[in-house]
């Protein structure tokens, strides 16, 4: 048995008779930064929806740290941190309120929430924004808040669906560096979906998807030379 952070085996998903994913297979080791590259329509968001159980696979199996997602969904969700492409922050609440709410949802005590929220605000350079309402903050700040929130329950696997969408080039690079650092410092596995080659580094493991089908799976430098 492997002890992968994430193991996707032969996953297919059809919207009615429209196939969105076709027998996709890959695995992410603990602490690995894994890139999923694909143009619009590749199936990236569908895969995210399957991983967060918004959808159920038509066929195939998903394991998180060797446990089947369909068998133990709630146990597994505590291992996973998620940032969706569309922000799910409450725009009318402050940064602190958004984060504290997430702590409560995950059953953290008020004291643990306070300590962790303070840590995450510090980690993401958001201390001086903590009382601001999310509505008042720019896209780069919002992405950092989303990441801070996704980190709060200390997941070992981060699922990031185009986390740099809508950001300018500097914010994109900064967020990418930040996540790579997290990955390294805390041995967090990351699934980073993107349609931008420049967000990948030469040694990243990479899956290239196109219209639901695996185009290539391997190390980024090798694949990007070929495709």
Chain positions contacting ligand ADP, by CB under 6 A = 15, 18, 20, 38, 40-46, 96, 100, 114, 117-118
Is residue 207 helix, strand or coil? strand
Residue closer to ligand ADP by CB (options 71, 196) is: 196
Q: Report, in Å, the least distance between residue 161 CB and ligand ADP.
A: 7
CA distances from 210 to 17, 47, 207 (A): 18, 13, 10
Residue closer to ligand ADP by CB (options 79, 162) is: 162
> What are the residue ranges of helices labelled H in 57-207?
73-77, 95-105, 110-123, 139-151, 169-186
d(CA 141, CA 206): 27
Q: Report, in Å, the least distance between residue 70 CB and ligand ADP.
A: 20
Q: Report, in Å, the least distance between residue 15 CB and ligand ADP.
A: 3
Pick from 188, 5, 155, 141: nearest CA to 82: 155
Residue closer to ligand ADP by CB (options 63, 100) is: 100
Token representation of residue 112: 């643990």
Residue closer to ligand ADP by CB (options 41, 107) is: 41
Pick from 39, 41, 4, 55: nearest CA to 25: 4
Q: Report, in Å, the least distance between residue 114 CB and ligand ADP.
A: 4
The DSSP annotation for 79-115 comes to TEEEE-SS--S-TTSBHHHHHHHHHHHTT--HHHHHH
Residue closer to ligand ADP by CB (options 65, 158) is: 158
Q: Report, in Å, the least distance between residue 204 CB and ligand ADP.
A: 18
d(CA 36, CA 196): 10
């Amino acid at each position: 048995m492997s002890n992968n952070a994430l193991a996707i085996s032969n996953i297919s998903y059809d919207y009615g008779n429209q196939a969105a994913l076709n027998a996709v297979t890959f695995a992410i080791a603990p602490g690995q930064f894994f890139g999923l590259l694909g143009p619009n329509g590749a199936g990236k968001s569908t895969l995210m929806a399957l991983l967060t159980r918004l959808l159920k696979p038509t066929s195939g199996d998903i394991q998180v740290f060797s446990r089947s997602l369909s068998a133990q969904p709630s146990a597994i969700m505590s291992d996973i941190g998620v940032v969706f492409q569309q922000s799910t922050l409450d725009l009318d609440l402050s940064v602190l309120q958004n984060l504290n709410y997430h702590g409560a949802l995950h059953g953290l005590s008020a004291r643990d929430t306070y300590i962790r929220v303070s840590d995450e605000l510090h980690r993401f350079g958001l201390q001086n924004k903590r009382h601001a309402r999310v509505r008042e903050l720019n896209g780069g700040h919002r992405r950092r808040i989303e990441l801070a929130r996704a980190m709060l329950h200390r997941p070992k696997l981060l699922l990031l669906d185009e986390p740099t969408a809508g950001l300018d080039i500097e914010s994109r690079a900064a967020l990418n560096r930040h996540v790579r650092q997290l990955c390294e410092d805390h041995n967090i596995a990351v699934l980073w979906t993107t349609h931008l080659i420049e967000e990948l580094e030469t040694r990243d493991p990479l899956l290239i998807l196109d219209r639901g089908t695996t185009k290539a799976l391997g190390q980024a430098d090798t694949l990007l030379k070929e495709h």
